[in-house]
Amino acid sequence: NAGVTQTPKFRILKIGQSMTLQCAQDMNHNYMYWYRQDPGMGLKLIYYSVGAGITDKGEVPNGYNVSRSTTEDFPLRLELAAPSQTSVYFCASSYGRRDTGELFFGEGSRLTVL
């Protein structure tokens, strides 16, 4: 099983450029999430989805967009990149049960905006 696959692993953007971080899972999870992690900080939720066609904002959604057209894929779009978006981005998925709450994480995408 591949689990949660994120691409690219590393990317450097110039200010104002746009890009899409790809995320795919093969565990048939309904719930998918995008988090960002700044150095020395915990994970901040950007967007999440409880199923295909359904997305909702997390704690820090500004400057990002998402879509969920299939159960497997949950891409994160960065529009007009800014230095404040320099971070490590983690995609995760879960069964969506409150009591277990186990998130399965991808390996992360390290983004630098210069």
Among 1, 2, 41, 62, binds other proteins (CB under 8 A): 41
Q: How far is the C-alpha of 110 from the C-alpha of 44, rounded, in Å? A: 15
Between 17 and 52, CB nearer to other proteins: 52
Among 1, 28, 42, 62, binds other proteins (CB under 8 A): 42
Per-position x/- string for 63-102, each x denoting binding to other proteins as judged by CB under 8 A, each - no binding? ---------------------------x-----x-xxxxx
Largest CA distance in the chain: 42
The SS3 of residue 91 is strand
CA 19 vs CA 11, 31, 43, 60: distances in Å: 9, 23, 21, 18
Among 17, 19, 31, 65, binds other proteins (CB under 8 A): 31
Taking the complex as a whole, how short is the minimal distance between the CB of residue 34 and other proteins, in angstroms?
Answer: 11
CA 71 vs CA 77, 80, 96: distances in Å: 17, 27, 13
45 is a site residue for other proteins (CB under 8 A): yes
Question: Tell me, what DSSP letter sits at residue 30?
Answer: S
Question: Using CB under 8 A as the criterion, which residues of the chain lie in contact with other proteins when the complex forms?
Answer: 31, 33, 35, 40-45, 48, 50, 58-59, 90, 96, 98-103, 105-108
